[in-house]
Structure 1
């Protein structure tokens, strides 16, 4: 398969999984999603196993394509009824559906997690995605190189069979952009054999964690600092390798705990250098039908992409042809638009 041009990091939840089934065919061919399996409320092995089964069922639409599976948010060392760890079970499940699933490994993984990745490599020759955190990248370069080499040795994967993910997580503000680009540059310059990795990817996210303070029916905008970070990295001198761009779509990068709640009708809409956000009111007697007006206002924006971009924008352009949906629907529409839009920008402009 050709190398992807974009790596979106998505939570393995209903809206994001549904989005993968509605993106444009060109988008499907151009992306390599990182699918984060979020922890359940309990660490019961059967509950986790059932959750992975449900996720896998919804992933059938991704057959014939690659994705990266990250179960690192689950409790370390959890063993499912099959006797496998969550990463091995989820990766094998996806592989059985014809998906080119690649497991994630972290430097903090213990022996059992490393054994699972090694067993996957023996059975599927799938390689691995080594995901480094900001804490990892802050290590002494020699120690970081040594840790990476040890991890690859433990899972029996060569560098040319492995992807290196430099994950900066949440990036907010110009100072964070400059600092993050320096960190990535230092890592790429100081790591040995960086040219040997199968792919090098930089991921970050800039969508806000909390939108409760946004005033209903007022169009709010947030800067896409994750896109600015990649532009800053690409503009650095003496960069030994230009990484692939990755972001967290229209979601906050980190897992946020707390009870679920029904949001007001809303839309997260990606523009060139920022996001547009508009929401209705929680106590409006129209309820979810406010989403029609949300879409109509977004469609009147001077930078609305137009219905031809994909299914999400077509629905925004003609919202009353469909039901108003719910919170999952609104997040799915924002995610589909974001994926189609970013791929289109990279393809035509060379930037996200």
Structure 2
């Protein structure tokens, strides 16, 4: 495979950039994130521009040693206009790759292609596939590629969005799309992105830990087991430990929201969820008890597996100064353990011997 091992779709929020920075160097080198700046509709232009500069700067600092993509898939015209000079500046000083796609506004496409040309970074072509593949969608991608400078490289980011139990044909539709899109150009990267994490409700967590199937991972296995010639070229991508639509939510303001939160843990088959409290007299006791439940899972990989598992250990037993955390902490440690586990699931551990033929 010539592309990255793993492409997580992440929101350009501080908990996510902190999670990426806290990956071990060996894991980080196999990860190329697709960073998404959150929408901020109705925000004053000067404030909006300042937010985007800060978010882009944070991502650029996190990625100073490795490339990544940066996108604004839910931006309105105002946000796109204000981000254009930020993107041009990034093209001069960072390894962030611009993203565009069919159906995007002409101005956004033009700026992304311009930055790709001037920076020699290449460009990500993000093709949304929330349902069935329509062959008529091939031509807009072909036309977009025709506008690239011959020296520019292009990355195919096939975005399935949410891949839950109500989409049993997601793998089949992805294969149809890939059959149409892969022959269009010698893509530098061909990644399939899908989000299997559920929308969590308090009721789901009332009886202790709750497990939800990793439907996105099952879809990936279907693709990986296909007989297509392009299968070895594909990179796996997901939305981490948040629902796919979370990247399209505007940042919350103030201190509202529920009094409870979620600890998250990824196993071979499931996302395991546990309820924690953000406030209240019982917060510390409840949160430490929840963390202990994760340590008791048969699939818990031990505190040395990543900074996510070590945080759970410390939370469970009251070690260290970090306490039982808050919503940002829970997202950060959840993404650390998830990204680490995904990379290790995709690549055999050092010292393992791959099979050389059928077993007798």
Change (3 A) 1:221 1:89: farther
Match of 1:125 among 120, 128, 135: 120
RMSD (Å) for aligned C-alpha atoms = 2.6
Cα distance, 1:5 vs structure 2: 0.2
- Is the 2:277–2:287 Cα contact (8 Å) retained in structure 1? no
Q: Give distance in 2, aligned partners of 1:205 and 1:135.
A: 11
Please say if 1:70 is aligned against 2:71.
yes
More divergent stretch after superposition (115-124 vs 253-262):
253-262
SS at match of 2:177: helix
Match of 1:198 among 188, 203, 209: 188
SS at match of 2:118: helix
- Is the 1:216–1:281 Cα contact (8 Å) retained in structure 2? no
Cα distance, 1:97 vs structure 2: 5.3
Q: What is the CA deviation profile of residues 274-330 of structure 1, one whole-angstrom value per residue up to 9, with x for unaligned ones?
A: 111111357752225532222122111111011111111111122222222211111
Change (3 A) 1:147 1:292: same
Aligned runs of 1:123-272 on 2, under 5 Å?
Answer: 123-134=118-129, 138-140=133-135, 143-154=136-147, 156-158=148-150, 161-173=153-165, 176-177=167-168, 179-191=169-181, 193-194=183-184, 196-216=186-206, 218-242=208-232, 243-254=234-245, 255-256=248-249, 261-272=257-268
Cα distance, 1:19 vs structure 2: 0.8
- Is the 2:9–2:33 Cα contact (8 Å) retained in structure 1? yes
Number of aligned residue pairs: 338
Aligned runs of 1:1-352 on 2, under 5 Å?
Answer: 3-59=3-59, 60-76=61-77, 78=79, 80=81, 85-86=82-83, 88-95=84-91, 98=94, 100-134=95-129, 138-140=133-135, 143-154=136-147, 156-158=148-150, 161-173=153-165, 176-177=167-168, 179-191=169-181, 193-194=183-184, 196-216=186-206, 218-242=208-232, 243-254=234-245, 255-256=248-249, 261-280=257-276, 284-288=280-284, 290-319=286-315, 320=318, 321=320, 322-348=322-348
Cα distance, 1:211 vs structure 2: 2.2
- Is the 1:188–1:241 Cα contact (8 Å) retained in structure 2? no
Cα distance, 1:252 vs structure 2: 0.4
Q: What is the CA deviation profile of residues 107-165 of structure 1, one whole-angstrom value per residue up to 9, with x for unaligned ones?
A: 1122211221122023201111111112696322xx333211211233x2459710111
Q: Mind listing any 5+ residue stretches in structure 1 that lack a counterpart? A: none
Change (3 A) 1:275 1:90: farther
Q: Give distance in 2, aligned partners of 1:153 and 1:136.
A: 26
